[in-house]
Structure 1
Amino acid sequence: MQPNTDGISSFEHLLANIILRVFVWVIACVTCLGNLLVICMRSLVAAENSQHAMAIKSLCCADGLMGIYLFVIGAFDLKYSGEYNKHAQGWMGSLQCQLLGSLAMLSSEVSVLLLTYMTLEKYFSIVFPFSHHRAGRRQTVSVLAAIWLLGFSLSLVPLWCKESFGNYYGRNGVCFPLQSDLALLLHRHHRRALLDTHLPPQAALPAAGGNTR
């Protein structure tokens, strides 16, 4: 009997299920081609609201990054096909996996933030049609730049702060943080802070030393 896996990978394949191995290519193709088509159409056809079109094209770019992520996952699944167990640890700890995970995180975060911004913009323009001031080009560019900057920051922080996040993107074969030990880490720091605050120095030092073992 083989041991349980993480539900994504197996001993032989990075993507254990044949359905995943097929649809990762299908969804990657549809995602990249679909978003590329929308960007081209939005660029060629004049829009009444150019600021909204700008936000749509930015959203397509963010979604397209997820398509690139899926293409790379599919490529490495083919590369390690039949012998994934030999390369699993090296792959999950590699720079490629870390960068790939940050790319997927960037795509997810920016997409959510853009959808939130576009929803709020439409909401205020519908609910307050006369009092709502429509964003100009400069304001829209500033908001979009801020969203992308925030997305980059959120996706790169786990790479910069290894001592806090550990191997954040390398916890499974697809390099995406489907689970997190951050709550355990915060609990550990909270317990350390309580010890340092409420215990006398002579008692706090042995206790803190015991926590590091």
Structure 2
Amino acid sequence: MANLSHIYFKKFQYCSYAPHVRSCKPNSDGISSFENMLANILLRVFVWVMACVTCFGNLFVICMRSFIVTENCQHAMSIKSLCCADCLMGFYLFCLGAYDIKFQGEYNKHAQAWMESWECKVVGSLAMLSSEVSVLMLTYMTLEKYFCIVFPFSHHRAGRGQTLGALLAIWGLGFFITVIPFFSYETFGNFYGRNGVCFPLQSDSSERSGARGYSIAIFLGLNLLAFVTIVFSYSSMFYSIHKTGAKTAERSVLSP
């Protein structure tokens, strides 16, 4: 082992255990590197840019929606709730940027401790909560529009209490999805600490089957279902609007 010149590990962090080896691969996992939590300058810059745009843009919308009087206050409530969920993602990006600066130049020394820390788990769970609540919120708002446009006379408009109940249910479901991995370490392992950015994309076959199955169920199951629902709803809305417009134009031509 003392004469070893080349070595290849499953994870780049293991290279720190063989400092005498001249060529140790991989140097990065695509996100992090030996030196930095965010491997390249493009990632580091855009984390801060997107964090600022996400937080300040959504806070601006919340303020504007709070001060401008609107007739459809239920829709305004949904918009503000969606902005709150997106703000959590902005906070998550700010945290990544801050920890990247903290570990700059020596990330590999702190990588394992960081991924196993409670800070990483909290940051990762905030990102999970933000993404899932945003997806569910967009699906709910799309279905509201769908029923209003496609079934304008038979659809019962939700009141303030019903809308508030739906929003609370969405946040509750998002929180439940987020905290489930904390209940069983044997099943999920370190669910939010498998990479430097603490986002739970468990796609590797070597990961625990429970964690991998849960990630697939959320990101390729629930989110895909929401995407299909949104696409179908908007397609039906455009078709209904086109059909109504065609009938209106036909009647105007036939009328004397």
TM category, shorter: 0.7 to 0.9
Residue type at the aligned position of 1:66: M
* TM-score normalised by L of structure 2: 0.70
Larger radius of gyration between Structure 1 and Structure 2: 2
Alpha-carbon distance between aligned partners in 2 of 1:22 and 1:130, rounded to the nearest angstrom: 50
Corresponding position: 1:163 with 2:186: yes
8 Å Cα contact 2:52-2:90 kept in structure 1: yes
Provide closer, same or farther for how the CA distance between residues 145 and 104 of structure 1 changes in structure 2, counting only shifts above 3 A. same
Residue 77 (structure 1) aligned with residue 103 (structure 2): no
Q: Secondary structure at the match of 1:132?
A: coil
The residue that corresponds to 1:34 in the other structure is: 57
Question: TM-score, normalised on structure 1?
Answer: 0.84
Encode CA deviations 1:149-172: one digit per residue, 9 max, x unaligned: 000011111122212100111000
Q: Which runs of 4+ in 1 moved over 6 A?
A: none
Q: Deviations over 1:50-95 (max 9, x none)?
A: 0000000000000000000000000000000000000000000000
Residue 180 of structure 1: CA displacement? Answer: 4.0
Q: What does residue 47 of structure 1 align with?
A: 70
What count of residue pairs does the alignment treat as equivalent? Answer: 186
Q: How far apart in 1 are the matches of 2:144 and 2:67?
A: 24
- Supply the distance in 2 between the matched residues of 1:151 and 1:7 (Cα, whole angstroms): 28
Are residues 1:108 and 2:131 paired?
A: yes
- What is the identity, as a one-letter code, of the residue corresponding to 1:51? Q
Asked if 1:185 is matched to 2:214, the reply is: no
**Match among 85, 107, 120 for residue 62 of structure 1:** 85
CA–CA distance in structure 1, aligned partners of residues 61 and 153 of structure 2: 31
Distance, in Å, in 2 between the alignment partners of 1:2 and 1:111 is 41
Aligned equivalent of 2:214: none
What's the Cα RMSD here? Answer: 1.4
| In 2: Cα distance, 1:144 partner to 1:180 partner | 31
Q: Which has the higher mean CA deviation after the structures are superposed, 1-10 or 105-114?
A: 1-10
Q: Could you tell me whether the CA contact under 8 Å between 2:86 and 2:134 is conserved in 1?
A: yes
Which residue, 172, 176, 199 being the options, matches 1:149? 172
Residue 192 of structure 2 contacts residue 200 of structure 2 at CA under 8 Å; is this kept in 1? yes
- Which has the higher relative contact order, 1 or 2, with Cα contacts under 8 A spaced 6 or more apart? 1
**Aligned-residue offset at 1:184:** 5.7
Unaligned runs of 5+ in 1: 187-213
Q: Are 1:3 and 2:29 an aligned pair?
A: no
- 2:145 corresponds to which letter in structure 1? K
Q: Distance in 2 between matches of 1:2 and 1:137?
A: 60
How much identity, in percent, do the aligned residues show? 70
Describe the SS at the equivalent of 1:32: helix
Gaps of 5+ in 2: 1-22, 211-256
